[in-house]
Every structure is written in C-alpha cells, then in structure tokens.
Amino acid sequence: MGLSASQGRMLSLTSRLSDLEYRAQNISNSKIRLASESEAASKNYLDALNAKKLTAYNPDTNTHIDASLSSLYKLNNCAANGTKRIIVDAQGNVVCPSSISAANPDYILDYFNQSGCTYSAGKNISQADITNAQANATKAKNDNASAFGSEEAYLNLMFDGNVPTDPNDAKLQYFKNIYSGLEAYAQTLGYTTATNEIMQSNYWQGDVYSADGTSSYFSNNSDAINIISNAYNNNTTLSPSDLKNFSKGVTKFENDTAWLYQQLSVGNLFVVEYNEEGGADGMGSWERISYSSGDAQLVTESNDYELAKAEAEYEQAMNEIQAKDKRFDLELKTIDTEHSAIQTEMDSISKVMDKNVERSFKIFS
C-alpha cells in the first residue's frame, strides 16, 4: 500500500474510531440515566409502602369502605347512629360533592347557620371581593376586545372556524363568558361558569385542587352561577349574603380516595363533627376531629390497592431498566470489539507508512 493510500485509510479509520467513541459515550450516559430511573421507581414503590387511606363504616354492609367525599356524605345521610360529619377547608368552608352541594342537606345548613360563615371557594366573600370582581371583569373584557377584536373573531379562533350554531352549546356559552368578562367576575368570587365537561378538558381556563393542595378551586354550583350571572349581566349590585347558602361542590376529586386522604394529611381539609353537648352553653356545636378518630367510624388503613398497583409498576419498570441495561452492555461490547480491531489496523498501517517513509529517504539519500 502506497503512502497516499495509507494516509487515506488512516483518516477513514480515525473517523470511524471517533464515531465509535461518541456512540460509547452516549450509551454510557444512557446507563447513568437508567440509574436515575431506577431510583425514581424505588421511590414510588417506597411511597406506596407508606401510603394510607381513610375508610368509613358502612352500616348497611357492616364493613368499612374507602372514604371519598362522595362516600362520606352518603354515609352521613344514612348512618344508623346519626353521626353528622362534614369536610371543611381551613377557612371553615364546606367541601362536598356537587350533588350534595346542590341538594343542601339540612345538616349542612345547620353547620352554616351555627358557624356563621359565608363561603365560596376557600374564603369568605366580602363587598371588597365583589368590587374586585367587577374590576377584574372589566379588565378582562377590555383586554379581550383589544387582543381579538369582536366576539365573533374570538369565537372563530377558539373553535377553529367551526363555531357551534346551537346558542345553548356549553362550550359556546363558556367562551362567550370569557370574552364578556363574566368568567373573570365569577372566578374572582371563587366560582366558574364552566360545566363539569369543560373543567375536565384541555381548554379549561381555571385551576382545581392539585395533589399538593396549592391551587385554587372554582365551584360551578348552578344556583350560585345563576345569581352571579344575573347580577353581572343586568349590572346589578351583588351582596355577600347572596352567596351564603352555597357550599364548595367538588366534581373532579369527589370519588378520589387518595386525594381526600392527602388533603386531610397536609391540613388543607378537616373533618368537623356535630357534638350535641358541645359549645359554651352545652347546646351543641361543630368541632374538628381527627381524620383518623379511631371510633370505628373513620379508620386509617394501608392502601393495599395502591400498594399492589405500585408493586406491579415497580416490577415492570425494573424489568424494562434491566432489559435496557443488558442491551447497552451488548452494544458497548460490540463497540469495544470494533474499536480494538480498528486500533489494531491503524497500528499496522502506521508501521507500513513508517516503512514507506524510510524507503523513500533511502532512495533519495
């Protein structure tokens, strides 16, 4: 092989060698990421081992069932011992399923009357809140008009040109309320004009309680929304007392047992119970109790379902990680073999080039 050909071959091998080293580095980085994935899978499994759930006694079946907002309120309605328990937030506002909220059972109204609280989404409504709601609505209306022009242009944008023809379409009404400022007005007061379907969708504009309880919650109680809408659309004055008898109806998490336990654990929600002999006058009062009171009505247990689910997910994750790790090891071994072969060939070519140079100098010397 001539000197020129040797140099060309050497450059080709050097390029292949660099490519192999680059691939090996990427695979090594992937193996490092596998360690992070393994750590995350282990953490999720350990969290499940420590997971608890709240169960409530069901007198109809003489068993304990998983406690969610929905099941707790249903059991309160039919409990043989007449226990009256309500879930409230830190401000004393009732948090319950939408169906219960709309029905307003007597024992909930009793709590409202005795606690003296006015309530919506996590705070007492004041006249200042109403004034602030009007200001926010005016700003939203002006901002929308400035950004989109007419309502027609805004709706065309929201529906990609396919605006519903039915004037009662829920999505159409919701986006109209956003454009007009009504939605901003309602959300400032802790409510939303969005239907349950909209609140579950990707075009929902508001927040609901997140897993850590840091987000706001907006109620779509139909009776409260009617009052808010009439006041806004008719430009009439809304009073804090107009919204007094509406609890915070939860829709997204009303059957979520894990969410309820987590919210109770971190202190975002509390259980209050009616004590017939409580109060300064002994005439009865609503008092906070432990969410795991140990009175056979509320019991904290290990969450076997979540544990079994987490165990299956952990095994699947670890099997996938091990399979990837073996594949990476095989690829690294192949690369190492090819790398050694190329290095050997490069050493051989280097010797040939040295000899060619040596012979060339001998000829010209």
The average confidence (pLDDT) of the chain is 75
Percent of the chain with pLDDT over 70: 70
Write the CA distances from 13 to 10, 146, 215, 264, 333, integer angstroms.
5, 64, 59, 65, 19
The 10s digit of each residue's pLDDT in 119-165 is 333 345 678 888 888 999 999 999 999 999 999 999 998 888 889 98
Write the CA distances from 353 to 6, 10, 17, 343, integer angstroms.
6, 10, 19, 15
Flag whether pLDDT at 342 surpasses 70: yes
pLDDT in the model for residue 36: 81
The 10s digit of each residue's pLDDT in 290-300 is 776 556 677 77
Alpha carbon distance 39, 222 (integer Å):
46
Radius of gyration in angstroms for the set of CA atoms belonging to the chain, rounded to a whole number: 34
Alpha carbon distance 142, 181 (integer Å):
8
Amino acid letter for position 177? N
pLDDT in the model for residue 77: 46
The whole-model pTM stands at 0.43
Flag whether pLDDT at 32 surpasses 50: yes
The 10s digit of each residue's pLDDT in 166-181 is 988 988 999 999 999 9
Alpha carbon distance 86, 74 (integer Å):
11
pLDDT in the model for residue 314: 82
Domain ranges of the chain: 3-50+312-364, 55-309
pLDDT in the model for residue 191: 81
Write the CA distances from 146 to 122, 139, 178, 204, 336, integer angstroms.
32, 10, 14, 22, 64
Alpha carbon distance 52, 316 (integer Å):
23
Alpha carbon distance 261, 284 (integer Å):
27
pLDDT in the model for residue 209: 40
Q: Quick one: pLDDT band at residue 70, thresholds 50, 70, 90?
A: confident
